[in-house]
Amino acid sequence: MTKFRSKFEERVAKDLKDFTYECTTLLYNKRTTRKMVCLDCGSQHVLQKAKYLTDFRLPNGIYIEAKGWFKASDRTKMESVIKCNTDCDIRMLFQKDGWANPSKTVKYSEWCDKRKIKWAIGKVPISWVRENENHD
């Protein structure tokens, strides 16, 4: 039996039925937290390659990242993952449309809209499951 990282992921899996879980690792660029300098140009804005393990992959090739709490570090990571993997269709599924900032001026959905990331709240839309059904 698959062990999920959260109750929300468990509920998503129960609803989906046909999917693979944590099956694909994607590379993305991550800002280093240590002081580093590029040996070629001297810049201190150095990126390192990092790995992201996808949550769900539908049979049609759509990847779904399921989030209850979408913290700032997760938003930064997901934005980079999507930018670095333009050939992948990565979408966000939120448990609820929470606030993306402490001042409560931006919702998760608005954050996604601004970045042209497809999103849903609560359950995976049936349209996502049926999309591109002839995908290999």
Token pair of 19 as six digits: 């999917």
Half-sphere exposure of 64 (CA within 13 A, CB side): 29
Side chain identity, residue 26: L
**Residue-range domain boundaries for the chain:** 7-130
**Residue 82 reports pLDDT greater than 90:** yes
Question: Does 1 have pLDDT greater than 80?
Answer: no
Q: What is the pLDDT of residue 77?
A: 93
Q: Report pLDDT digits (tens) over 9-31.
A: 999 989 998 999 999 999 998 87
Q: What is the structure's pLDDT at 46?
A: 63
CB of 93 closer than 8 Å to CB of 15: no
- 3-state helix, strand, coil split of the chain in percent (to 5) is 25, 25, 50
More confident residue, 18 or 39: 18
Band (pLDDT 50/70/90 cuts) for residue 32 is low
pLDDT(133) > 70: no
CATH architecture assigned to 7-130: 3-Layer(aba) Sandwich (3.40)
Sign of the alpha-carbon dihedral angle for 89, 94, 98, 101: negative
Distance in angstroms (rounded) separating the CA atoms of residues 51 and 95: 24
Q: Is 17 helix (H, G, I), strand (E, B) or coil?
A: coil
Q: What is the pLDDT of residue 132?
A: 79
